[in-house]
Chains A and B, each alone.
Chain A
Amino acid sequence: MKYYQPEKECASVEEIRAWQSEKLVKQVKHAYDNVPYYRDLMDKQGVKPEDIRSIDDLHKLPFISKYDLREAYPYGFLAVDKSEVVRIHSTSGTTGRRVIAFYTQHDVDLWEECCARAIVAAGGDKNDVVQVAYGYGLFTGGAGLHGGSHKVGSMTLPMSSGNTERQIQFMQDLGSTILCCTPSYAAYIGEVLKNMGLEPNKDIHLKAGIFGAEPWTEEMRRGIEKSLGIKAYDIYGLTEISGPGVAFECSEQKGMHINEDHFIAEIINPETGEVLPEGTKGELVFTCLDKEAFPMIRYRTRDICVLKREKCSCGRTFIKMAKPMGRSDDMLIIRGVNVFPSQIETVLLEQGYQPNYRIEVDRVDNNDTLDVFVEVTSDDISDTVKDITVKEKELAMAIRNMIGIGAKIHLVPIGSIERSEGKAKRVIDRRKLID
């Protein structure tokens, strides 16, 4: 089994565009007719459902942002009668008021199909034993992959996260072949496995993992693949759009195919809202095409990434998104270049440093300056200033390769970087104080 729905996943670009156009017209009308808040947004923009005839008209539509979802909390974006809703999920709400997403049975089915595609792309079929170690509950991770695994027909282990020794016990006893959880939990399971003196491909028989819901690096991927003896696949999604499975990785492990029969992806300039050409870095915006309960049209994800449509060795034709490289809220413009703290963090992790850092941006004589303070451990230090300076220069070079501009690196002892409520204050932009 190579594809879950080959007629969709390998359709021609023309077919995909035709589906998208047809569905978009209906989806916009559905939202306009049933969501007063969205009708207001369209009216303010001066656009009517009749103006939307194909995906070429998409740019005429207003954006929906997290702010709108908060304003309309809880029922403001519900587009069907409450009696049609069979499920809700919710974001954690760590940054302000939570978002509650509603699902009809149709919405749940389509979402689960997307997750089923991800499982099949990771080599899964009905003979597999799928261990779902994402959290179950309001979080979409557990429910999404659980439903997807059912659709594929795999034996589904609804483990939820935590109780790691029990997770490993089930892997041993039932011969789990596919693990679904967050990448950090996968890395932790690998560590515990090692501490228990167990070996991958001998004591446990996992072959693949589907990991998402938090940022992770290629470095982490290699570590997880080694410690669990698997191929690790990335999966992307967000509660507002449905949950995991909006995009998924294939055997090529280079970017995630977006389920374009259900979602249109755009990249915009986060400052101006202008749609950017394919291959350009910008904010990812999703339009749902098949949603009954919670239609999201041009929803701004705040994730910064790049879209690329290219022939993929897996045979799928869906456009691919790169792993998000940061959040638009965090974006700094330094010497005209977009810089994300997460890019710097990625370099630090790749170079073997701890992610304890502070970025300071300032303006001296009309030039932007970028200073990065990085806390070091005993392994990084030396008895000579010269050695430490060499390390600083190496790190500066790696950061320049990543972000395209130079930074001054300062390696500092542990404790030098102030922490507020446990988390280090990552970015200080002094230019804002001047302007």
Chain B
Amino acid sequence: MPSARSWRAYPQTYRLEASRCSGCQKTFFPPRQVCNACSGREFETFRMGYGGTVVTHTVIRTPGDQFQGEAPFAVGIIAMDDGPKMTTQIVDVPLEEIRIGMKVKLEFRRMYAEGHDGVIEYGHKAVPLRE
């Protein structure tokens, strides 16, 4: 069985559900209860688009226990076209070709095995956007 910790985040994990502050239009992923720009408490929920840009990146060569056997793999911070930034793995590209400013899109992939039962968790990873 998936844990409550993972299923209650399904709207964000599976549908990229984000929120936009009704007061100042700042966008948040995951959604928040209070806007950290204007202290507003009213938001509208929206589904984030898949496109974004790499703002920084690294190659993890010494991973934590959960990711043993997968290294080396690339991780980056992606500025989503809809505003929020998020940390994701960057895949389907040679590690040395990843650059700041590179356009990417999110795809749904296997992430890791959660908890002692080893339930497979899925989530989004970034792949290069090819013209």
* A is bound by B: no
**Residues of chain B having any CB pair with chain A under 8 Å:** none
Residues of A within 8 A of B (CB): none
